[in-house]
Structure 1
């Protein structure tokens, strides 16, 4: 049985032995993985040896950088590095999921490298966990924090070595370590937030108005669903343009020009999202559709629509222990309709609200 206190004791000894007297940089996102890794290193090394930064990429949730700094102020000091313009310049207009992730990774580590040089750091602490490198090396999708496992020589490319104290752990174990370290419960129980943030929930082409709409809708969805305690829950957005009709009963289409990531067998799939326009057998229908159209990676069921607007807003909520597999949280339609009504009122560019009913596999939890 996993003992978080024994793990902490062992890792502190390892970190001190590995790092010696060299300086260390830690980049946190406010998620439980990166924050736990940074807190563990901070406990091992202290403020004279480690500097903790939060890189604002422009793809964060509303008020996130300041919230993270405030909630962790009694644990470790955090410095916000605003690199949002740099990320936006390179990513606006990009649409392919893997291309977006790889561009993000390159910019992120260039910024980290610059900050490490300023501090004189030769080590970078990051919260890579077992699902991250398993998905990346398995070819399902590129996690931005998986580097050495892909054969990338980070010392040669960016000038630092990696310190990944959580690389053998799964999410439930990371949360246990977070609590044993005394991190605030808001962090220890916080749902995962991907390293590239809203970038991978802005499905397809990245556009400024689309990102702004997603950020507003994300606040609404997270507030409305938090009391249900899903393992992960969020909003995603894409262009509302229906393509080929693939079923009559219930009426089902694929979105034109929209692709999302899935898992077929042990391999990555990148295919269409199917829309069921009727709330009929919502939590069983995905099997029928994916059997009929094997290239479909996600199935969403319509909650509500209005006449105007450019985008579909998808709500996703899952239950999982290890994030390698996940079940869909079955939510009453009345609550989803309530959420849709508020989204329509506050985010005019949203035309349609849907609920993703696809487990993992065959879908991934995130769309990109």
Structure 2
């Protein structure tokens, strides 16, 4: 568990899909937050010296045998606790209350009836404030010493509290944007009840991270893979700031890069930043390993393995290497496995965590592991990286390998590179690039009949996709002006040989993921 010399709010994770969002909302207040497993002992929690603890929601029913429970000793630490949804229910049961499955359950919007405006948690909250509910079970009897301070039409105990012990619970989700005053609820707890000081920012993160990197690395060498994306670039510059030429960066041209990517990376990091950079052109090795493979997870694992094999080869040229640095972020970890040890499900393996061999020869160094994407961008600005790099849309570690849906070949990749370049160019020309979280093009494993130059064609189909998001945990499709899509589609069909049909993907996340594979 990473430690910071700042006030901390601990999020106890019961496997909720929104645990990371809770932590993110706390950080927006400039208060550090950290997610830990619900199995963390009371002694370990006390050692972290948090100003407050938040119990997340969770997918389990608190009434089920074997459902997650925190250490009972957490209630004796004298630390304020806020239970959210499942967290409210487990707090109630462990303190002598009851939870049942009512006749009427709540999913979606509900209006809050404020019963005690003097409650510290409800300070500034308006009557009939809109809440987002998602629960089947509800508290049916309060524990001794608790009172209910808010209700909804179908839930009597929507907000509860034990003022003396500073235990609070809400049946709704204040962390999601659908709860209109969710930010106020969380600020009331974090800043008001817990009295956490808002003194955590990227400047303080840098100072602490540099100290940790130097302590961990000592006089040893670190190998870092550069991709040209924001994450690896920020990680490399941060590590270089900490240990200088002990960092050896390797840029692997895997043949899965965007148009002009290799030239850009070499110029920026070798020429401008004077970072020790080794260039490995491994395009043939990657494409040979991917030949005939179309299953997404298999492609990711193959790309990860060849990437590591290439690193081993480059490492021998750099001398003795002890650490492998990666730009792994919180969402990367969450979507690969629960970082808390909680019962959340795997969505997909990430190249930074899913493709590593068990006998990895180096220790991992992941200085961005606790950060969300927008925090990494802020960190990059603090480190002086150029804005054009800091604001780049996310790009997957497996590159175009997971955007070339189906089998990956050099011919298909070259086609996709041209499609992608045209799409991004049109977005920039329209002045929309910074309004979009991520824009991408995919080449689909289907062909369609078309007419080009009065001749019948049977060519490939591409799909364009652009989404808005805060941290990639959820995303909505971007509403383009029709003329932007029309220009992009027209250029693609006219300028890219082998493509005769262009689609636009309007799937949100959930139910889809941002990437197709």
What TM-score comes out, normalization by structure 2 length? Answer: 0.56
Q: Deviations over 1:184-218 (max 9, x none)?
A: 11111111111111100000122332211101111
- Structure-to-structure mapping, 1:348-363, within 5 angstroms: 348-363=497-512
Q: Deviations over 1:232-280 (max 9, x none)?
A: 10111113358xxxxxxxxxxxxxxxxxxxxxxxxxxxxxxxxxxxxxx
Q: Which of the residues 370, 391, 396 maps onto 1:189?
A: 391
Give every structure 1 segment of 4 or more consecutive aligned residues whose post-TM-superposition deviation is greater than 6 Å: none
Distance 1:15 1:305 in 2: 59
Structure 1 residue runs without a partner (length 5+): 243-303
Distance 1:101 1:192 in 2: 17
Q: Is the 8 A contact 2:305 2:357 kept in 1?
A: no
Q: Is the 8 A contact 2:447 2:458 kept in 1?
A: no
Q: Is the 8 A contact 2:464 2:502 kept in 1?
A: yes
Distance 2:364 2:413 in 1: 31
Larger radius of gyration: 2
Distance 1:207 1:71 in 2: 28
Cα 1:153–1:207, aligned 2, differ >3 Å: closer, same or farther? closer
Q: Which of the residues 134, 138, 142 maps onto 2:334?
A: 134
Distance 1:79 1:345 in 2: 38
Q: Deviations over 1:126-179 (max 9, x none)?
A: 1000010111113211111115xx9x675xx23111100000110000001000
Distance 2:487 2:248 in 1: 44
Distance 1:305 1:14 in 2: 61
Q: Deviations over 1:41-65 (max 9, x none)?
A: 0000012x11111110000111211
Distance 1:180 1:46 in 2: 18
Distance 2:346 2:290 in 1: 22
| Alignment match, 1:38 | 236
Distance 2:349 2:325 in 1: 19
Distance 1:240 1:50 in 2: 44
Comparing 2-11 with 110-119, greater Cα deviation is found at 110-119
| Alignment match, 1:346 | 495
Alpha-carbon shift at residue 305 of structure 1 (Å): 8.1
| Alignment match, 2:98 | none
Structure 2 residue runs without a partner (length 5+): 1-29, 31-199, 338-344
1:122 equivalenced with 2:289 (yes/no):
no
| Alignment match, 1:109 | 308
**Number of residue pairs matched?**
301
Distance 2:325 2:284 in 1: 24
SS in 1 for 2:501: strand
Distance 2:211 2:327 in 1: 18
Distance 1:209 1:83 in 2: 17
Distance 2:458 2:399 in 1: 24
Q: Which of the residues 34, 40, 58 maps onto 2:255?
A: 58
| Alignment match, 1:173 | 375
Alpha-carbon shift at residue 87 of structure 1 (Å): 0.3
Cα 1:80–1:133, aligned 2, differ >3 Å: closer, same or farther? same
| Alignment match, 1:233 | 439
| Alignment match, 2:218 | 20
Higher relative contact order (CA 8 A, sep 6+): 1
Alpha-carbon shift at residue 74 of structure 1 (Å): 2.4
Q: Which of the residues 331, 344, 355 maps onto 2:480?
A: 331
Higher-helix-fraction structure = 1
Distance 1:343 1:308 in 2: 15
SS in 2 for 1:342: helix
RMSD of aligned residue pairs (Cα, Å): 1.8
